[in-house]
Amino acid sequence: MALSFREYGSGPSVVLLHAFPLDGRMWEPNVEEIADAGFSVVVPDLTGFGRSEAGPTTVGMEYMAREVSEAVASTGAAKSVFCGLSMGGYVLLRLYDIFPLAFAGMVLCDTSARADTDQKRAGREKMIESVESGGSGVLVDTLLPNLVSDTTKETNAALTSKIAAITRDQEPEAICGALRGMASRPDSRKILSDIRVPARMIFGAEDQVTTLDAAKELVEGIGSSDLEVIPGAGHFSSLEAPEAFNQSLISFLKSVYSNS
């Protein structure tokens, strides 16, 4: 098995797909409460991140999605609610496009259905050059300041230090492979109207990377969906405001599985 993953609890399945440039540890503030609510929580490290094996030079979102599918299938879950934050959301949308029958529902967090603009692709290329020459730690100063809210920076220094430490732990090859994959990912807006499972969007109110305009586009594109906005949180809403995030996710899970 190429992907390393952790499992918590028992019950109906929920799969948590982490953001760039982190790994499954980003869900540590969430997994215990979700499992205690009566769910089986599956937390993969996406291709090359954390304890997972490295992938090709360019790790496309479809490549990651297929590896996630294999990992989840190995748990025996016939259907799951998939929850993806940022890059995890890109992977989730590719996964739905390929394996829609694996979904009981979906939660898209601080992410977008749009492909990268030329400007964003150029920015990722510069980031690749920086990581290749300076290692993963360069992202701590160049990228991470934009990923948490001003509220978090002012009130939670321990969290920003944890995010920085997890970032430094990642292999430069994994970071560069994922950057190439995100830069080349297809536009997923065309599949939104085909989504036939319940969906929830959870976004930080202070997210400057994927703003509420991206959230509204997802809600408008997906029929059976709603949006919850978390005050004081930025791009890493599940880390910055875990209590509010957990409450929203658990209520959605209970709704999905009580109606299935």
Q: How far is CA 100 from the centre of its chain?
A: 18
pLDDT tens, N- to C-terminus, the chain (260 residues): 579 999 999 999 999 999 999 999 999 999 999 999 999 999 999 999 999 999 999 999 999 999 999 999 999 999 999 999 999 999 999 999 999 999 999 999 999 999 999 999 999 999 999 999 999 999 999 998 999 999 999 999 999 999 999 999 999 999 999 999 999 999 999 999 999 999 999 999 999 999 999 999 999 999 889 999 999 999 999 999 999 999 999 999 999 999 76
Domain of residue 150 covers: 5-258
Angle separating helix axes 28-36 and 242-258, nearest 10 degrees:
40
CATH number assigned to the domain comprising residue 197: 3.40.50.1820
For the entire predicted model, the pTM comes to: 0.97
**Angle of helix 61-74 versus helix 172-183 axis, rounded to 10:** 110
Token reading at 73: 């299938």
Considering its fold, how many domains does the chain have in total?
1
Contacts of residue 53, Cβ cutoff 8 Å, sequence gap at least 6: 2, 3, 4, 47
What's the start-to-end Cα distance of the chain, in Å? 30
